[in-house]
Chain A
Amino acid sequence: MKSRTIKVDILARVEGEGGLYLRVKGDAVAEVKLKIFEPPRFFEAFLRGRQFHEAPDITARICGICPVAYQMSAVHAMEDAMGVKVTGPLRDLRRLLYCGEWIESHALHVFLLHAPDFLGYQDAIRMAQDHPDVVKMGLRLKKIGNEVVTLVGGREIHPINVRVGGFYRVPTKPELAPLAEELKWARDAALKTVRWVAALPMPEFEQDYEFVSLRHAEEYPFNEGRLVSNQGLDIAVQDYEAHFAEEQVSYSNALHSRRQGDGLYFVGPLARYHLNFDRLSPLAQEAAQEAGLSRECRNPFQSIIVRAVETLYAVDEALRIIAAYARPDQPAIKVEPRSGVGCAATEAPRGLLYHRYRLDESGAILEAKIVPPTSQNLKIIEQDLWRFVEKRLDLPDDQLTWQCEQLVRNYDPCISCATHFLKIRLERQ
């Protein structure tokens, strides 16, 4: 029987180090393994013994692309433990900071990491030779996202201005004004981006997923909400661990998450969009509809369009927040440590990010648990690969490998976060 192996030893254009191994026996897929060899990071262990207020700065170091997500999940979990709720302009500033991270992370992924796959370019540098204006637009969008993070967070990578209870310093209204000017350009650029990605050649690959994301009563979710799914899940974040569990797999340094009883689930932009279309701004809704993006979208390749729509939303939301902003008198509310357990989930650009901390009466961390979005998506990526390859076994190895990499990048996986990624190997037998 003819045997075939697809192997990508190091997956490019993903964060961290991992590889993909695919074994095909005859005309059936026999094995799919996403191998994560990014070394374990041990963050949960070395948070033990540290003070509660150190968690946002320590966990921000887990990722250079989405440090804000780690800071937000950390501060909300701590505030949950202390029985504190941050409201008003401080809460709005946290949303603004998150808008900045979504804009820079999505722009990086859409333009520099994922779009080249759709157009048949090896990388964004080669794409830039034929589409210089598109790449310039993407770089400027990313820069504007970085500027939002720099202004609110203190610096663009691993921000230093976030604390439990609020911020160390809050910006003045005049400081935000120049950002608004940049964001107005970004709104037009994001709209153009939605139209541009909507015209990309899109592989047909509709799947039946359980999408999981936060859902808030009024807003498209960043920091708060209930955990919901399109298959009836509707729980408080505090019940996360009763419904989801991490497990070890022998071939990977990253844990895999499972929905108790039901197995696989999907987090990230597509899940958020699917469950929260009605919470998008009117402009973002209109752009999605004009792009022909169904509200029920189930094709993970279309995540590139959803990222563009979310970028537009984040720009719109940032402009709304800046327009309504009144500088609070205090940069933070007072937080007194107490013993207890606190947890929170927020929406990182790549999907749901869960943190739980157990604290003693002095506020020292006794136990920490962090479940990043990528480890929640690893099983779905493997299932997607299995189903995708099965229907395309007639493709030559180089094309099949290319499309498998493109598929993995649908999830914008962050392997550094998940080890707590990619070489591809396809083996045909």
Chain B
Amino acid sequence: MAFPRNFQLQIIGVGQEWRGDDAAGLLVARLLKLPQTQRGVPVGPLPGGRPPGSAPRTDAASLTPNRSQVAVLETSGSISDLLAAWDGADAVILADAVRAGGPPGKIYRFRVQEAALPAELFPAASTHDWGIAQAVALGQALQQLPPFLVVYGIEGQDFGIGQTLSPAVAKAIPAAARLILQEVQELLG
């Protein structure tokens, strides 16, 4: 897929920091914001980390040196946050925890334009608001989806209260970050 040199790529980590494995998407985003040399550090709950939703758009110069067109964002995944987050982006890569019934830590990749996102896999941020599957469906209905949208799902195991990750999910976070980096590099050429 060929993109113009000035296109904007938005990476969005979705999750809830205090619900166990649901933090996976946030932690992938946080890892991708780190300078390349530090990306090898073990990933876990980050005490005192910026709460989801309050993070400013972070220019991920560290992610792709010499490129200003990549931004990394963390969000709790409410529909309005997501629609706003991909507004104007040419390409969006989302990372979120899923419940697909597979082994914990398994990484899935969905190319949204090819198929609808299975709503039952993505836990909604709230029963009053919606999760990313509904945000994607609403984006489709309103013709407000970015031209390129890929969702990485990380199979979670424990969505209980607290900041403890399941070991398999903790391992999957750097792996998902690597896959996203590869995808970014392919996109940017």
Contact = CB atoms under 8 A, between A and B. Distances in A.
Interface in A373-395: none
Interface residues of A, number: 28
B6 interface: no
Contacts of A64: 126, 128-129
B143 A139 contact: no
A221 B138 CA distance: 35
Given A125-B137, A135-B142, A143-B84, A414 B128 contact: yes
Interface string A116-132: 00000000111011001
Interface residues of B, number: 18
Contact of A139 (B83, B126, B127, B137): B83
Interface string B58-86: 00000000000000000010111001100
B53 A125 contact: no
Interface in A91-117: 108, 112-113
Contacts of B1: none
Given A16-B127, A64-B128, A139-B83, A129 B53 contact: no
Contacts, number: 51
A126 B129 CA distance: 16
A142 B80 contact: yes
Contacts of B137: 125
Contacts of A320: none
A10 to B, nearest CB: 9
Nearest to A15: B128
Contacts of B127: 12, 14-17, 416
A169 interface: no
A155 interface: yes
Nearest to A127: B141
A157 B53 contact: yes
A108 B141 contact: no
A125 B80 contact: no
A285 interface: no
Given A108-B129, A125-B134, A157-B53, A132 B141 contact: yes
Interface string B91-133: 0000000000000000000000000000000000011110000
Interface of B: 53-54, 76, 78-80, 83-84, 126-129, 134, 137-138, 141-143
Interface of A: 12-17, 64-65, 108, 112-113, 124-126, 128-129, 132, 135-136, 139, 142-143, 146, 155-157, 414, 416
12 contacts: A15-B126, A64-B126, A64-B128, A65-B128, A112-B79, A125-B134, A125-B137, A126-B141, A136-B142, A142-B80, A146-B80, A156-B53
